Structure 1
Amino acid sequence: MTDLLNASATSQERTQKDIDSETLAIKRVLSGPTAKIVYFVGIICSLFHIWINTFGIMPEIQRNAVHYSLLLFLGFLQYPLLKRKSDKSIGIDYVLAILAFAVGLYLVFFEDALHARNEVPILPDLIAAGLAIVLILEITRRTTGLLIPALSVFFLSYSLFLGKYFNGLWHFPGVTIERLLYRMYFAPDGLFGTIATISSTFVFLFVLFAAFLIKSGAGEFIINLAMALMGRLTGGPAKMAVFASGIMGSISGSAVANTVGTGSITIPMMKRIGFKPKFAGGVEAAASTGGQLMPPIMGAGAFIMSQWTQIPYLTIVGVAFIPAFMYFISVAFFIHLRAKRRGIEPLTRDEIPKVREVLKQGWNYFIPIIVLIGLLMLRYTPTFAACGGIASIVVASWLNKHTRMGLKDILDALSLGSQNMVTTGIILLCSGIVVGVVLMVGMGIKFSMLIQDISGGSLMLTIALVALASLILGMGLPVTASYIVLAVLAAPAMTMLGTSTIAAHMLIFWYSQDANVTPPVCLAAYSAAGIAGSKPLPTGLESWKLAKGLYIIPLLFCYTPILFEGPLWQVIETAVLGLGGLYCFAVFFEGYNQRMLNWPARFLYLACAAAMLWPDMRLHAVGAAVFLTGSALELTVFRPVQPAVAIQKE
């Protein structure tokens, strides 16, 4: 047990270094001069973003261009052209890194000259714009695969010439190549537009905040605290995974990184007390996926949503708390029932660290979180709050002799934050191409009209189409890119049908997470399978079952006031009865409540789940009454049936 807990910090640091924020792309093993260059450029990159988001003054598009230059420079050195023989392509990668750095800075130095010519681009402008697009497509291919670049190329082609071959609603006469390059490079709705702004401000600083927390040892503290609080409960290590993954996922913003980081500790514990490997992997994948739904950070999604909808960031994280809490509790329901059904005992007292000792060693880690949340509640901007949080991590580390950060630790965290940001930043920058074309050709309105035609004006059918689209997109797109594409295409259709803006975007954001846990492509589940030693597909199916709240809870956004769009008592009533419905749903799947259940009893609980989740208070009352009556009968008339043989610890 001690070895496992002591290994947590190492696993977290390894995760941050070796696993991308939203993909499983393999990085080059850096050594020699290249490692030093990446290290120091990473420090410069972080310092630039801190400066420009605090005291620095620079036009938005120029700031985003520098952001592009620094991330792509790091990206081409980290992700080789030749995956298996990375040393053979190092020369080409250096050339592309320097070229990417130059084309980004070209805009900084020559934008004023373009304005002096009344926005008439000359040949060097067009060459720089073309190279900027080609380079972002290539580095995106290296980091995330072919789908995002292919999607971007399709949208670019549609705007140039493909659109004229479509009939009716989708016909578009096309624009000139000069016009397209100008819009993608110099205009505020292209490569360096809104999405790049989100990347260079909110997202970068919170990724840096996470890097400082991890480097200061917060990962180990979170694991230890979760064990101390949850270890004595039935299925304690699995519930610990839910607790730890919720906190770590909110900080890291990555389901895959969270799975590998916390899973390397929690999955062996779950297996040791008697959970099957595929279930242990499924628990970690489902819990880690929920990390991106948990305030106050919520990965990159909350920042994108706030910028897109102009809804204050604090409002978004405020209304997101209850649904996120419900999701994690729903995963814990499955764990509790499975543990009871299999007769799995809690950990022994000797195996569990004492809460007092854990808090004594890491109490100072609460300070940065309190500072961050406090600044947000005082209505400071998220960028200011993130910078304040980063500073407070360093100061707080000095209050405990076990966690003090020296100059080397601070420099390491600065470099680590930039390197962790590369993949996420590249995804967002490349997504700017898709968003720019969609806005330029009016595709969002057309897509909304198409959805309305197919759904016949039915909100439920529209939601089903959005869920299907998110699953298909998620097979090849990271969750951030999937949310951006769906938000720009499908959110208008939902708002036209009467859904509030925040409910529409929150539903799309939740559904964009489903590819992490839904076969056949579920990166978080497959990552967990590698740690658990289980087969990927069965592990994916387990995670898909455990994450049912990911599909059910978003329906409440559109049909109930759970996002604080009604009286407080209705919000509370919806949340409480919703939890009851999620519990009944877990009972149906596990076939166990107080005793093993036959199929008629299981379907009765399924009916209770539907009644308590349906937006009708009369059905809520009926469902709750049947559920309580059934549970009481199990305890009295039918004696609880214990498992025949308790699972022995390995």
Structure 2
Amino acid sequence: MSDHDLVPGLAPDTPADIPDEFQEHGAQRTLGGWALTLLTGAALAFSAYQLLVAAFSPLSSLVMRSLHVGFLLLLTFMLYPRVKRGAGMLRIPWYDWVMAVGSFALGCYQWVFEAALIQRSGDPTMTDLIVGALTIVLVFEAARRVLGYELPLLCGAFLAYGLFGEYLPEAIAHRPYAWSQIIDQVGFGTEGIYGIPTLVSATYIFLFILFGAFLEHAGMIRLFNSLALGLVGTAQGGPAKVAVISSGLMGTISGSGVANVLTVGQFTIPLMKRFGYSAVFAGAVEATASMGGQIMPPVMGAVAFIMAETLNVPYAAIVKAAVIPALLYYFTAFIMVHLEAGRAGLTGLRRDQVPNAWHALRDNWHLVLPLAALVWMLFHGFTPMFAGMVGLALTAILILGVALAARVSVQAFRYAFWLAVGLGAATFAKWGISPVLAMIALMVAACLFVPDGKKTLHTLRSSLVDGAKQALGVGIACAVVGVIIGVLSLTGAATTFAGFILQVGEKSLFLSLLLTMLVCLILGTGIPTIPNYIITASIAAPALLKLGVPLIVSHMFCFYFGIMADLTPPVALAAFAASSISKGSPTATGWKATQIAIAGYVVPFMAVYDPALMQQGDAGWFTVLEVSFKAVVAITLWAVTVVGHLRGPASWTERVLAFVAASLLVAAVPWTDGAGYALGAGVIGWNYWKARR
């Protein structure tokens, strides 16, 4: 039984027709004819360039970043219109062609004049300043088209601060800077638009976005849905549990919460509504589960790669810190939908309505190989770039191998398949990428001469094009937020805010954490997770470190609340996207999502007070298990508070006591832990005793 049999007419691999205001990024043009051909060619060139850079590193770091930004601007001005209406939605006006080609030419400036720019570093010519100023303006305009007005306005405020901050009150003023210094810092240096975020976007992030696009086109979404249906589809509240598990699995290959909503939600939200969940609750469950993809190893959101590069730690260290909180996050969503199903008396699907999970895995086991190889390599010392290349190559070999297998006997394919995968892994590990590229080229050539082989090549081309398009929002955000980093590093303004947090922290660490959380949530009302994290990590994380919070924990704290901002009204993009499918109220969906995702607001505080939750410090396995168990108990009690049900209905007195018990378990203090356990046990025991009566 396929997923389509459960909800007739529904295609879970096809994104929803989402209204513009609910999209994660701006409205894209609908092109045809030669304009579409040029756009496809540019996207393919972008993906080919990134793969070439990742495989052979033929360019210096700064040139690689500038060409990356050049490609981002080229595709952005071709794909995103100046306004979301009119003829500009169906064609590319002449001025967008000029900006597209001109911005790519500006991106090549660093490449053509690399030696001269190095020699006159810090002393730019008038031509340099004009090129730098135009590049900055074009990056701002691209960010406006892709991400909306909020982030460009915020970055513009920081740019204005760099230019005119000398006239502000003494407490926040800085010394005078000439406009040439600002442009040189922001437009050419490694702390501006070509800073660390752009470096990470041009290396790790693009590869993993492409990896996710390849797996999606290979059919990974269908496999995840089938596994989730087979595992929990028949349980109490099965459809909602399917949404949690399917979105969690999808999160292992995709770090975009809104993208997860638009893919998995096409299947899970109608399924939940069909079996009795309200439109608001169905949308909230999917939004909550999808946003967890950014913290779900092994392929977390783009922020994880930026964090690893910023902290100069292995990516595996970030994954290690994130794995327990990620599991707790999804446990929260799971227990919430379980209790809600019990409260509303909702049942699961019939056994004959769900596929067999084992059969689904048996028939599509090859799709798991690239993900398994990626996990193994990340935890065995390989760089994320190399691991991403291996995953991409294996996925391409699998897609091509499955297509060619249809033309040969089953037994012959088994030997050929294992030989191809084995050779791919062995040559990557020992001889490098060239033999693997030769193998893929041979398989591509073979597809030209077999029936339906061209469909497979079309799948590969679509994966490359979609990967390039999906990278635009992340890449443009990384580039424009470099303006903030450049101004902060030039003026030292971050020290002022950090000093304020330190002053508050001298009286109360909790108040400093609360202030940082509010800053993250407020910033998140208008800007994506990546710039949210970069800004707060640049300002608040150093202050938290001085207050005794471990380095990774302080950055993860900012990261988590940057994610939660996409669930928190008034601007909750993930909830709004889900509501456009569920047809429920966007605001009500957002508020319900914040209740379901309560762990996302509380676990970061627990990790600060007890870093063992993120496996930091000298804590052993027993300590890690102990604090994880405490978090599970606290989450269960919060779920009882929110839903008002456990084994049976919970009275308001029980809900208040459950909230108090959960709150006592947050702080790592022996007497509060003891009191929280005792009170929680009393609430749970009383509710079970009432239910048995």
Bucket of the pairwise TM-score, normalised by the shorter protein: over 0.9
1:239 aligned residue: 241
2:286 aligned residue: 284
Structure 1 residue 5, shift from structure 2 partner: 6.1
1:552 aligned residue: 602
The TM-score normalised by the length of structure 1 is 0.94
Pick closer, same or farther for the CA change 1:426–1:118 going to 2, 3 Å.
Answer: closer
Distance in 2 separating the partners of 1:118 and 1:395 = 45
**Counterpart check, 1:343 vs 2:342:** no
1:639 aligned residue: 691
Residue by residue over 1:170-209, the C-alpha shift from the partner in whole angstroms, topping out at 9 and shown as x without a partner, is 1112211112221222222111121110110111111111
Pick closer, same or farther for the CA change 1:8–1:163 going to 2, 3 Å.
Answer: farther
- The correspondence of residues 426-441 of structure 1 with structure 2, limited to 5 A, is 426-441=476-491
Query: Is this contact kept in 2: 1:82–1:89, CA < 8 A?
Result: no
1:619 aligned residue: 672
Distance in 2 separating the partners of 1:338 and 1:11 = 25
Look up the SS of the partner of 2:248 in the other structure: helix
Distance in 1 separating the partners of 2:240 and 2:5 = 15
Residue by residue over 1:340-375, the C-alpha shift from the partner in whole angstroms, topping out at 9 and shown as x without a partner, is 111111110111101132113311111010111111
1:109 aligned residue (103, 112, 115): 112
1:607 aligned residue (660, 666, 681): 660
1:534 aligned residue: 584
1:450 aligned residue: 500
1:648 aligned residue: none
Residue by residue over 1:25-70, the C-alpha shift from the partner in whole angstroms, topping out at 9 and shown as x without a partner, is 2111121112111111111111111111121321101000100111
Query: Is this contact kept in 2: 1:322–1:575, CA < 8 A?
Result: yes
1:307 aligned residue: 309
Distance in 2 separating the partners of 1:359 and 1:97 = 45
Structure 1 residue 134, shift from structure 2 partner: 0.4
**Counterpart check, 1:139 vs 2:142:** yes
1:158 aligned residue: 161
Distance in 2 separating the partners of 1:2 and 1:608 = 41
Pick closer, same or farther for the CA change 1:527–1:203 going to 2, 3 Å.
Answer: same
1:246 is matched by which residue type in structure 2? G
Pick closer, same or farther for the CA change 1:91–1:230 going to 2, 3 Å.
Answer: same
Which shifted more, 542-551 or 597-606? Answer: 597-606
1:396 aligned residue: 398
Distance in 2 separating the partners of 1:223 and 1:93 = 41
1:93 is matched by which residue type in structure 2? D
Distance in 2 separating the partners of 1:510 and 1:342 = 31
1:385 aligned residue: 387
1:493 aligned residue: 543
1:90 aligned residue: 93
- The correspondence of residues 33-52 of structure 1 with structure 2, limited to 5 A, is 33-52=34-53
1:593 aligned residue (617, 642, 646): 646
**Counterpart check, 1:371 vs 2:387:** no
Structure 1 residue 89, shift from structure 2 partner: 5.6
Pick closer, same or farther for the CA change 1:14–1:607 going to 2, 3 Å.
Answer: closer
Residue by residue over 1:453-479, the C-alpha shift from the partner in whole angstroms, topping out at 9 and shown as x without a partner, is 345442110111111111110111011
Look up the SS of the partner of 2:565 in the other structure: helix
Query: Is this contact kept in 1: 2:15–2:262, CA < 8 A?
Result: no
Gaps of 5+ in 2: 407-452
1:647 aligned residue: none
2:211 aligned residue (204, 209, 226): 209
Pick closer, same or farther for the CA change 1:441–1:73 going to 2, 3 Å.
Answer: same
Residue by residue over 1:76-105, the C-alpha shift from the partner in whole angstroms, topping out at 9 and shown as x without a partner, is 011011320114762111111011101110
Pick closer, same or farther for the CA change 1:165–1:559 going to 2, 3 Å.
Answer: same
Distance in 1 separating the partners of 2:181 and 2:52 = 34
Distance in 2 separating the partners of 1:65 and 1:488 = 23
2:254 aligned residue: 252
1:645 aligned residue: none
Query: Is this contact kept in 1: 2:505–2:547, CA < 8 A?
Result: no
2:614 aligned residue: 563
1:227 aligned residue (229, 246, 260): 229
Distance in 2 separating the partners of 1:479 and 1:279 = 24
Query: Is this contact kept in 1: 2:287–2:593, CA < 8 A?
Result: yes
Pick closer, same or farther for the CA change 1:155–1:372 going to 2, 3 Å.
Answer: same
Look up the SS of the partner of 2:362 in the other structure: helix
1:522 aligned residue: 572
Query: Is this contact kept in 1: 2:244–2:330, CA < 8 A?
Result: yes
Distance in 2 separating the partners of 1:549 and 1:97 = 44
Look up the SS of the partner of 2:364 in the other structure: helix
Distance in 1 separating the partners of 2:205 and 2:254 = 11
Query: Is this contact kept in 1: 2:215–2:395, CA < 8 A?
Result: yes
Distance in 1 separating the partners of 2:102 and 2:679 = 68
2:127 aligned residue: 124
Distance in 2 separating the partners of 1:70 and 1:285 = 31
Distance in 2 separating the partners of 1:67 and 1:543 = 36
Look up the SS of the partner of 1:477 in the other structure: coil
Distance in 2 separating the partners of 1:45 and 1:199 = 13
The TM-score normalised by the length of structure 2 is 0.88
Query: Is this contact kept in 2: 1:444–1:492, CA < 8 A?
Result: no
Structure 1 residue 169, shift from structure 2 partner: 3.1
1:415 aligned residue: 465
**Counterpart check, 1:505 vs 2:558:** no
Gaps of 5+ in 1: 642-650
Query: Is this contact kept in 2: 1:364–1:399, CA < 8 A?
Result: no
Structure 1 residue 2, shift from structure 2 partner: 4.5
Query: Is this contact kept in 2: 1:364–1:397, CA < 8 A?
Result: no
Pick closer, same or farther for the CA change 1:589–1:20 going to 2, 3 Å.
Answer: closer
Which shifted more, 597-606 or 192-201? Answer: 597-606
Query: Is this contact kept in 1: 2:35–2:92, CA < 8 A?
Result: no
1:182 is matched by which residue type in structure 2? D
Distance in 2 separating the partners of 1:7 and 1:36 = 34
Distance in 2 separating the partners of 1:2 and 1:12 = 10
Query: Is this contact kept in 1: 2:252–2:296, CA < 8 A?
Result: yes
Structure 1 residue 287, shift from structure 2 partner: 0.8
RMSD: 2.2
**Counterpart check, 1:59 vs 2:110:** no
Query: How many residues in Structure 1 have an aligned counterpart in Structure 2?
Result: 639
Structure 1 residue 250, shift from structure 2 partner: 3.5
Pick closer, same or farther for the CA change 1:9–1:361 going to 2, 3 Å.
Answer: farther
Distance in 1 separating the partners of 2:679 and 2:174 = 57
2:79 aligned residue: 78
Query: Is this contact kept in 1: 2:251–2:293, CA < 8 A?
Result: yes
Pick closer, same or farther for the CA change 1:118–1:500 going to 2, 3 Å.
Answer: closer
Query: Is this contact kept in 2: 1:199–1:428, CA < 8 A?
Result: yes
Distance in 2 separating the partners of 1:309 and 1:442 = 19
2:220 aligned residue: 218
Distance in 1 separating the partners of 2:132 and 2:22 = 28
Residue by residue over 1:290-316, the C-alpha shift from the partner in whole angstroms, topping out at 9 and shown as x without a partner, is 111111111101101111111211011
Structure 1 residue 437, shift from structure 2 partner: 1.0
Query: Is this contact kept in 1: 2:35–2:91, CA < 8 A?
Result: no
Distance in 2 separating the partners of 1:555 and 1:633 = 29
Look up the SS of the partner of 1:57 in the other structure: coil
Distance in 2 separating the partners of 1:581 and 1:537 = 27
